[in-house]
A and B are shown apart, each in its own frame.
Chain A
Amino acid sequence: MSLSARAALLFGTTVWCLAIVATPIFHLTPLYVFFSAICHQLPARSWHIHGELLAVCIRCTAIYYGFLAGLLILSKPSARLFKIAAAITAAEWLFAFTVFDSEVLRALSGILLGASAAPIVRTGVEEMFTRRVRTAHESIERI
């Protein structure tokens, strides 16, 4: 069950990341509408492919691709690494707001945040599924 939860998360994340890039390439307007629920999609804060916006902004793109990389590369969850990444992202946001806004810094902090979050979310999803299966087995045994 744990393995299938892991595979489902990896598959879902891969599809999500591909959709971000596929949206401008194939002019998938419904996907722009879908992603508009979770991202501002401001042109000035987004990357473009062939003159068209990616489905989400630079920070979101970096977080999602970082998350995918984290799922593939990192095995053990680290709360400390996630806290550091969150602090760096917050600091970058404050720095961009007050001093200098840099696409590169935004992307790097996003990748770090996404990558550090991935093993934690994966562990959470695995534990959640394991818990549900265990509860279901116990209920069946009681019956």
Chain B
Amino acid sequence: MSQSNESEDTPKKELDFLKPALAGGAVTSILTSLFTLVSTKAKLPALQITCCLWLLGGGALATYLLNKQRPGRLTYGDGALVGLFSGVFAAILGTLLGIPIRLLIAPELQEAVDQFQQQSAQMPPGMRDMILPLMEPGINMTVLLIGLVLGLIVNSIFMTAAGALTVALLNRKKND
């Protein structure tokens, strides 16, 4: 990747990835948790139409904040890296925020379990036994761990992509 002459001549200031990544991760995890709470309590599954927008938005925010440190001179790699970090933070914060959220939506989770038991009669028993404990209301270490691992995978993928793509939207006019 070629950089402009200006960026080659002047020494680059080291980028601080931590603060933008924390901000992006925090915004994503808080919005995702609030969204889960509101859509479950209000019984509005149609709200799910926003799907992965919070993830993309968090990655974009992290890159936007990073861009302020070196306006117009970020590489796609810088965006991808800050997106990856914010994805990891979002997964950890989201798992922690998930604890009170699961307690708050316990009645709705119980309803979902009852509904699932009725609808899953034709499902192989092994699979049903695997899924049911994950849906049970309350705090369960297995559920938290699975949530953390899934969060790490999904958030990292989407927020890394969002970071690189935000660089394209912000400042890659010279190099392409």
Which of A's residues lie within 8 Å of B, judged by CB?
12, 29-30, 33-34, 36-42, 60, 76-80, 82-83, 86, 117, 120-121, 123-128, 130-132
A117 touches B165 (CB 8 A): yes
Q: Is the CB of A128 within 8 A of B80?
A: yes
Chain A residues near B167 (CB-CB < 8 A): 120, 124
* Chain B hits for A125, CB < 8 A: 77, 80, 160, 164
Q: Residues of B contacting A83 with CB < 8 Å?
A: 168-169
Using Cβ atoms and an 8 Å threshold, which residues of chain A touch B84? 128
User: What 1/0 mask marks residues of chain B from 34 to 68 whose CB sits below 8 Å from any chain A CB?
Assistant: 00000000000110110110010000000000000
Contact status A121-B160, CB under 8 Å = yes
Expressed in whole angstroms, the minimum distance between the Cβ of B7 and any Cβ of chain A is 14
Do most interface residues of chain B lie in helix, strand or loop, or is the interface mixed? Answer: helix
Give 14 CB contacts A-B under 8 Å. Answer: A12-B157, A37-B154, A39-B52, A76-B176, A79-B169, A79-B172, A80-B176, A82-B169, A121-B80, A121-B165, A124-B77, A127-B75, A130-B77, A132-B81
Give the shortest distance, in Å, between A93 (CB) and chain B (any CB): 11
Q: Is B89 positioned at the interface, with any CB of A under 8 Å from its CB?
A: no
B172 contacts which chain A residues (CB < 8 A)?
A: 77, 79
B48 pairs with A77, CB closer than 8 A: no
**Do residues A131 and B77 form an inter-chain contact, with CB atoms below 8 A?**
yes
In the complex, are the beta carbons of A124 and B51 less than 8 A apart?
Answer: no
